[in-house]
């Protein structure tokens, strides 16, 4: 079945350093979504990417969708303590069923 | 406007007991989902309902049943709970195909002894 792998599993950074998480799918995706989950909370939608090679920015966050629509990345520039949480990608190839990556837990050290 | 609500927030069951997790959304969304979240596993889809009156299996449906009672409500039932079903359960809703955001409820933390 479809698999979505995400690396790294954990990342500790000093405040102000950059952070990147990578997502790879075993199948071609129609779109990919990114979510953030704070400790003890629920996933919150960040963005959806649809087009091959698409790049979207939200302030310090940059999201990319690979040319083959099988991989994606989230890059955070100059991390802040408010960025702490687990970041998940979720890939969709069927139109209604999302496969979540295992998540990257980000710790920001002040 | 409460978004997605789930009850209960916490539950402890003994092996073999049954229970129903309730989920409701007030956003008039067509699609609803049940996920479970285990440490290091991300979220895995149990069942989903693309529209009122339809339900489909997700990645890990064994041991669960669902009911899409109406457009607002989507319940998840454990007929005979097992320790392997200890998890955090999230319900989510979405406007429909092509509509981006999945809105998640606060989760139900279930412990099966």
Per-residue pLDDT of chain A (110 residues; tens, 9 = 90+): 668 899 999 999 999 999 999 999 999 999 999 999 999 999 999 999 999 999 999 999 999 999 999 999 999 999 999 999 999 999 987 767 889 999 999 999 99
- Report the C-alpha gap between A71 and B78 in whole angstroms: 35
- Report the C-alpha gap between A110 and A94 in whole angstroms: 42
Q: If we measure between CA atoms, which residue out of B96, B99, B113 comes closest to residue B32?
A: B96
Q: Is the pLDDT of residue B96 over 80?
A: no
**Residue B109 forms contact with A (CB below 8 Å):** no
The verdict on a CB contact (< 8 Å) between A44 and B97 is no
Q: What is the mean pLDDT of residues B27-36?
A: 94
- Report the C-alpha gap between B33 and A55 in whole angstroms: 28
- Report the C-alpha gap between B47 and B53 in whole angstroms: 13
The neighbouring-strand residues paired with A8 are none
Q: What is the mean pLDDT of residues B58-62?
A: 94
- A66 Cβ neighbours under 8 A, 6+ residues apart: A52, A53, A72
Q: How far is B14 from chain A (nearest CA, A)?
A: 24
pLDDT of residue B100: 76
User: The tokens of B17 are what?
Assistant: 């007991």
Q: Are strands A10-14 and A104-109 parallel, antiparallel or unpaired?
A: parallel
Type and span of the H or E element at A67: none
**Residue A59 forms contact with B (CB below 8 Å):** no
Residue indicated by tokens 């997790």: B21
- B41 Cβ neighbours under 8 A, 6+ residues apart: A102
Nearest residue on chain A to B43, alpha-carbon basis: A100
The verdict on a CB contact (< 8 Å) between A96 and B50 is yes
Residue A14 has φ and ψ, to the nearest 5°, of -80, 145
From residue B64, give the alpha-carbon distance in Å to each of A98, B9, B85.
Answer: 19, 18, 10
Q: What is the mean pLDDT of residues B39-51?
A: 89
**Residue A14 forms contact with B (CB below 8 Å):** no
Task: Let me know: does B9 contact B109? Beta carbons within 8 Å.
Answer: yes
pLDDT of residue B101: 85
pLDDT of residue B99: 63
Type and span of the H or E element at B54: none
- Report the C-alpha gap between A31 and A95 in whole angstroms: 9
**Residue B106 forms contact with A (CB below 8 Å):** yes
pLDDT of residue A97: 83
CA A17 to chain centroid, in Å, comes to 17
Q: If we measure between CA atoms, which residue out of A99, A100, A31 comes closest to residue A65?
A: A31
């Amino acid at each position: 079945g479809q698999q979505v792998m995400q690396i790294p599993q954990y990342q500790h950074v000093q405040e102000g350093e950059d952070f990147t998480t990578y997502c790879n799918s075993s199948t071609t995706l129609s779109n990919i979504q990114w979510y953030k989950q704070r400790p003890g909370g629920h996933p919150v939608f960040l963005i959806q990417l649809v087009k091959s090679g698409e790049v979207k920015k939200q302030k310090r966050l940059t999201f990319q969708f690979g040319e083959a629509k099988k991989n994606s990345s989230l890059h955070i520039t100059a991390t802040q303590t408010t960025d702490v949480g687990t970041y998940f990608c979720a890939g969709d190839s069927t139109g209604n069923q999302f496969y979540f990556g295992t998540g990257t837990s980000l710790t920001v050290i002040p | 406007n409460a978004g997605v609500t789930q009850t209960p927030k916490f539950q402890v069951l003994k092996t073999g007991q049954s229970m129903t997790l309730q989920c409701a959304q007030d956003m008039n969304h067509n699609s609803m989902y049940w996920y479970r979240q285990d440490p290091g596993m991300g979220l895995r889809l149990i069942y989903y309902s693309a529209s009122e009156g339809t339900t489909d299996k997700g990645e890990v449906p064994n041991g669960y049943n669902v009911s899409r009672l109406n457009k607002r409500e989507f319940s998840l039932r454990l007929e005979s709970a097992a320790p392997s079903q200890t998890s955090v359960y999230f319900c989510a809703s979405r406007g429909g195909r092509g509509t981006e955001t999945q809105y998640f409820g606060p989760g139900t933390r279930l412990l099966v002894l």
